[in-house]
Amino acid sequence: MANHKKQTSKSPIGIFDSGIGGLTVARAINKIMPNEQLIYFGDTAHFPYGEKSPDSIKYYALRISDFLLKQNCKMIVIACNTASSVAYQTVKNQAGNKALVVSVIEPVVNNVANQYKQGKIGVIATKGTIKSDIYNKRLKELNTSLQVSSVATPLLAPMIEEGFYNNNISRTVINSYLLKPKLKNIDALILACTHYPLIRPEIEEYYKQKVKIIDSAEIVAEHVYALLKEHRLLNKDQGEKSKFYVSDYTDSFAKSTKIFYNNKIKLQYNPIWENE
């Protein structure tokens, strides 16, 4: 690994995901910390992570983290639930004292455990996240009175990545998952994939405001703010322009980024796997 300069408040925040989902987290961070420079990496070449083996995900996470550390990032946000569930400790070990590391799972679990003393919590996510059973384990560790019911929703992330939402196709797919018996009589639903905030309006429409929808992006952004403040790493001045990289350039990704940043994003193709 390359030599690293010491991180300062002006150093960027690194964010990575398997695709566009992590942009929901990037946008939330940008909203409450407009001075921060973000370096985003969407691993579109290996999307979706939810279908990959834990070893593969750890390998991708390590390579991307190495890239972000070489950009002198003061923090790495794993803006992907699947990667957070299997590769958080791996990335943390790699970063050492060079950068803070944030998973998208812990802030959400802590928030829900504090907010709900009892009741039934639903979780929808990719196969990888559900298979890890991390939400159930973590929530039960913090609050044994909670009932946690998890459902794998593997079609949602690829559907969103291809731009299918807010239409009849997405509504049919979403409703078929939410109708599953395991999600009956839930008090809250955790959107345990960073892609899912893009279909939040459709999920809210299904539940007709009777179920609290928990969006990880805003909770994670608040946690990032608190952590940077605690370590005196908040950038008080306007930082450099944010950079957005993808490991495979796709038109659907380029179109979807406009939802978050209009036409302000310039995607840069960076196949870091070829530099081995």
Question: What are the residue numbers of the active site?
Answer: 80, 193
What stretches of 97-247 show up as alpha helix (H) in DSSP?
106-115, 127-132, 134-142, 156-161, 168-178, 200-207, 216-230
Which residue in this structure is represented by tokens 């590769």?
87
Count of beta carbons in the 10 Å neighbourhood of residue 46: 19
Q: Give dist(CA 230, CA 100) in Å, integer.
A: 11
CA atoms lying within 13 Å on the CB side of residue 43: 29
What is the bridge-based pairing of β-strands 146-152 and 188-191?
unpaired
Element (H, E) at 88: helix 81-95
Selection from 79, 77, 78 nearest residue 20 by Cα: 79
Selection from 15, 31, 20 nearest residue 195 by Cα: 20
3-state secondary structure of 211: coil
